[in-house]
């Protein structure tokens, strides 16, 4: 699935140059569940963004199914994000003015799915995460756990091959955290997704077959792959 070779990423923050990734190399197989741990500012999110085509590395290559995301143009990256990769964010990142169902539908807009199909598939996705009855609710009317379920439904409604989750349980209590991890684990098994999950939580990381750690931009394998 992913073959990452010597990836480095630097960016400027004010007058300071930040080395987010330093010569990172990594292979992720199809259908693998991988957790990324590390301190804040260590480079976890930068790696995830590079894997999802949200950002290009300063150097190195990120091959996804044989295509190098590092050299792909904007339109190509947009297409990859629309068709291949699903994202789940720590803050859910739902559109506050749209209902749960409409939020899920936003992921199908760039794929040119018809309105009726969008509505049907969005409702099915919400039912698959146990929120079919809350389809007409606005995000503000849902709990944190429910909002994250909507975000997961949005990430999965387009049937991606990769799911990238950036601290998906970071804003949730322990009970809800376990529910969300159960859900993600179940979907991973059911759909054969490649799931990369950034987390601070060791309990969450402990449930993944493979764990890596990134600190000061350098990657360290915690378990064998």
Residues of the shown chain interacting with other proteins in the complex, contacts defined by CB under 8 A: 11, 45-46, 49, 52, 54-55, 74-75, 78-83, 87, 89, 91, 93, 95-98, 102, 105-107, 109-111, 115, 118, 154
Task: Provide the token pair at 172.
Answer: 């949730």
Residue 178: count of CB within 10 angstroms of its CB: 15
Give CA–CA dist 188/198, Å, rounded.
15
Contact predicate 42/24, CB 8 Å: no
Least CB distance to other proteins at residue 224 (A)? 30
Least CB distance to other proteins at residue 114 (A)? 11
What 8-state DSSP symbol labels residue 72? -
Output 123 or 210, the one with its CB closest to other proteins. Answer: 123
Task: Provide the token pair at 59.
Answer: 């150097």
Least CB distance to other proteins at residue 170 (A)? 12
Output 114 or 224, the one with its CB closest to other proteins. Answer: 114
Least CB distance to other proteins at residue 134 (A)? 17
Least CB distance to other proteins at residue 219 (A)? 19
Give CA–CA dist 130/4, Å, rounded.
36
Output 2 or 92, the one with its CB closest to other proteins. Answer: 92
Output 44 or 210, the one with its CB closest to other proteins. Answer: 44
- Report the DSSP pairing between strands 194-198 and 210-215: unpaired
Give CA–CA dist 171/199, Å, rounded.
11
Distance, CA of 88 to chain centre: 4
Output 145 or 160, the one with its CB closest to other proteins. Answer: 160
């Amino acid at each position: 699935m992913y073959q990452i070779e010597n990836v480095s990423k630097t960016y400027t923050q004010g007058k300071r140059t930040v080395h987010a990734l330093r010569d990172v190399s990594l292979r992720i197989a199809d259908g693998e569940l991988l957790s990324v741990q590390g301190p804040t500012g260590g480079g976890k999110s930068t790696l995830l963004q590079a894997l999802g085509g949200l950002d290009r590395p300063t150097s190195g290559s990120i091959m996804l199914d044989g295509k190098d995301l590092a050299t792909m143009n904007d339109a190509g990256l947009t297409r990859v994000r629309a068709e291949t990769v699903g994202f789940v964010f720590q803050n859910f990142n739902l559109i506050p003015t749209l209902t749960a169902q409409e939020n899920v539908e936003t992921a199908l807009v760039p794929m040119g799915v018809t309105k009726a199909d969008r509505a049907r598939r969005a409702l099915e996705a919400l039912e698959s995460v146990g929120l079919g009855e809350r389809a007409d609710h606005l995000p503000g009317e849902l709990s944190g756990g429910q909002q994250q379920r909507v975000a997961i439904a949005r990430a999965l409604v387009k049937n991606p091959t990769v799911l990238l989750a950036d601290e998906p349980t970071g804003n949730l209590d322990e009970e809800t955290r376990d529910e969300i991890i159960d859900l993600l684990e179940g979907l991973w098994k059911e759909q054969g997704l490649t799931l990369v999950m950034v987390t601070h939580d060791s309990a969450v990381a402990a449930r993944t077959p493979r764990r890596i750690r990134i600190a000061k931009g350098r990657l360290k394998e915690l378990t064998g792959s």
